[in-house]
Each structure stands twice: as C-alpha cells, then as structure tokens.
Amino acid sequence: MIKNIIYFSLLFAGSAFAQVATTIGQDENSGRAQLYDLLKTVPSPRAAAMGNSFVAMKNDPNTLFSNPAALSSQIPRDSTAPGTDLSLSVGALGIGMTQGSVVFSAPAPEALGEKSWVAAGILYNSYGTFQGADNLGQLTNQFTAGDFVLSLAYSGVVPNNKVFHYGVAIKFISSSLVSGQYGSSGLAVDLGVYYQNDPLLLTVGLSATNIGKELSYYDGTKEALPFNLQFGVSKKLERLPLTIHLDFHNLSRDREGRNLFYAFNDFSIGGEFIIAKIMRLRFGYENQERRDLTVPEGLGLGGFSFGLGVVTKKLQLDYSLSIMGPVRADIHRFGGSYLF
C-alpha cells in the first residue's frame, strides 16, 4: 500500500512536470530574479565549495535539495553507524543576512523497499532586522523578514537492478515580510533519477525541481515558482584522488531568441581532492553566477569557490568561500554532519 502511494505520487508529479514544461520559455522572467529565490540557493558548504554541482553527488544527505534520487546512494561509514545522518549548515550573506539548513536522513523501513531512504530538511533565509517608519518618516517598530522551505523526501532503488535510483520530494515554501504581517506560500514537488556505476566510478543525475504553484500571494499577485531542470555527471579519476562534477542547470529556461547553446550557459564545475585520510580540498566554478556578477569594476574571481572538509567515521566538518567579485561581500559557509 505504501509503495503504491509513492508510485502514485511520482505519476502525479510527472504529469504536473509535463504541464509545467509546456509553459517554460513563455515566461519573460524565466532565469531572472523572482519570488522564492531561496529555492535556487546552495544548501550546504560542501555544495557551495563545489559550485553547486550536486545533481550527481553520491552519499550526501544534502542532495535532498538538488536531486532526491541520490539520497539512496548513502552508505554507512562503519558497522556501528547504520546510516542515520544529521546535517547542519549556516552561511553569512552580508549586511546582516544569514542562510542555513538542517537535514535529517535515514534508511527507510523495509516495507518501503530495499535500500530505500527517507529524509526531511529545512532551508531558510533570514534577511535580518529592519527599522520601520511611517509615511512621514517617523520611526516605528523594528521588523524582520525571511523565507523557509520544508522538504520531505523518499528515494529508492529500482528492484533487480541496483544501479538506477529514483526519488521524490514534497516541499512547502513560505515567505514573510514585516515580522509575518505579509506573506506568501507555495507547494512544490521535486523529481529525480540517478545512475550509479561503481566499476566506472561514475554517477549521473537528472532532476526537475520546484514543480508547483503558490497557495497564497503577496498583494494578490501570482508568480511562477523557479522551475529548474538539471543534469549532472560525476567521475572519480582512477589515478588521482580527485572526483570531478559537471552540472547543467535551468536547461528549459527561455533562450530569449538566442541559439540553442544559450540553454547550456548555466553550468557549474566542481572538484574534490582527497589530500589526506581525513582532509578534503574542494573547488568550484559557476558560469551563470559569474555572468550575473559582471560590474564596471570588473569580475575578479567572482563565480569561483573553494572549501575544506574534515571527514572521520562519524563526523564531517565543512567550510566554503564563495567569491562574489569586487563589489559584493564574499559568502562564508560553515557546516557539519554526524552519522548515528
């Protein structure tokens, strides 16, 4: 019965995806800033350090936000830790704004399928505290603003195959202004598939995220959710302790009269070196981010990112630096996960 419910959810979400896909390209704001930009943000320091190249990432609970199908690629780190993972992260975005996430993932009950996983996560933005004022400029009470996403996911492995994974996540989105006096909410579904070839040290992922609609609106104005069709490939090199990740984002966005290759401009590249038994060195590049950061003062290393990770049997600590160019403040993120 439970499996039938899951399969029905996938079928329903797939039909919703088909409806959304037919309208992609008709929205003149496709690919630009819009409501619920939180859904486009990087979920963890490890993902940020690698340019958000996480669609084909293996064995990381934060794939909940990029490709739910990859959740079932998680494995225990030792015999005393069956796989339940709690991951936390926080980032400073500048001028008093912060961003963070909490993810809990665990092997699912056997009734849901062999090697299946479930996960729950929260992604949030806090825009800080602001000083209020009336129409005459007289100071009033201070207020806050922020967004959050609550996501619940399931991921399984295709029976009698073990190399193909599938996943679905259901998300509730909320955005509020003036300490909650004004708000908007939405409901969305993420779908994903994932292929894992251990002999080739290769993984491939495809996900369609933010398939849904608003439930309530700011000032009665409807806005589309930032639908994102993503494809990623990950390859661990045989003779080097390095894994390379290549992702393409927003593949269905409006080309705005440009040629077909414009759809591939939004790509990211990431890498992770194993430089010691417990130490990881990471780097990344986001092409669209670098294009968006273009200012008269120049670009510098805008769009590039770097990071470090310390990985033990049960504990992982991560740091990342995302360079935002000569004008905007760089973003520092800290996080970690613990395997129970």
- pLDDT one-digit tens code per residue, 69-100: 999 999 855 555 557 899 999 998 777 788 89
At 261, list the tokens.
Answer: 């290759």
d(CA 118, CA 256): 39
At 82, list the tokens.
Answer: 């069956």
Work out the pLDDT band at 172, boundaries 50, 70, 90: very high
| Cα angle 173-20-170, degrees, rounded to a multiple of 5 | 35
d(CA 50, CA 238): 20
Q: 54-69 pLDDT, tens per residue? A: 999 999 999 999 999 9
Work out the pLDDT band at 241, boundaries 50, 70, 90: very high
Specify the pTM.
Answer: 0.83
At 122, list the tokens.
Answer: 């929260």
Residue 283 has pLDDT above 80, yes or no: yes
Work out the pLDDT band at 27, boundaries 50, 70, 90: very low
pLDDT of residue 15: 35
As beta bridge partners, residue 244 has: 235, 271
At 102, list the tokens.
Answer: 């909490």
pLDDT of residue 149: 94
Work out the pLDDT band at 23, boundaries 50, 70, 90: very low
User: Dmax over Cα atoms in the chain, in whole Å?
Assistant: 70
Find out whether 165 and 157 touch, Cβ atoms under 8 Å. Answer: yes
Residue 14 has pLDDT above 50, yes or no: no
Residue 282 has pLDDT above 90, yes or no: yes
Pick from 213, 214, 197: nearest CA to 205: 197
* CA 90 from centre of chain: 14
Residue 206 has pLDDT above 70, yes or no: yes
Mean of all residue pLDDT scores within the chain: 83
Instruction: Say if residue 102 is exposed, middle or buried (CB neighbours under 10 Å; 0-12, 13-18, 19+).
Output: middle
d(CA 69, CA 205): 8
Work out the pLDDT band at 29, boundaries 50, 70, 90: very low
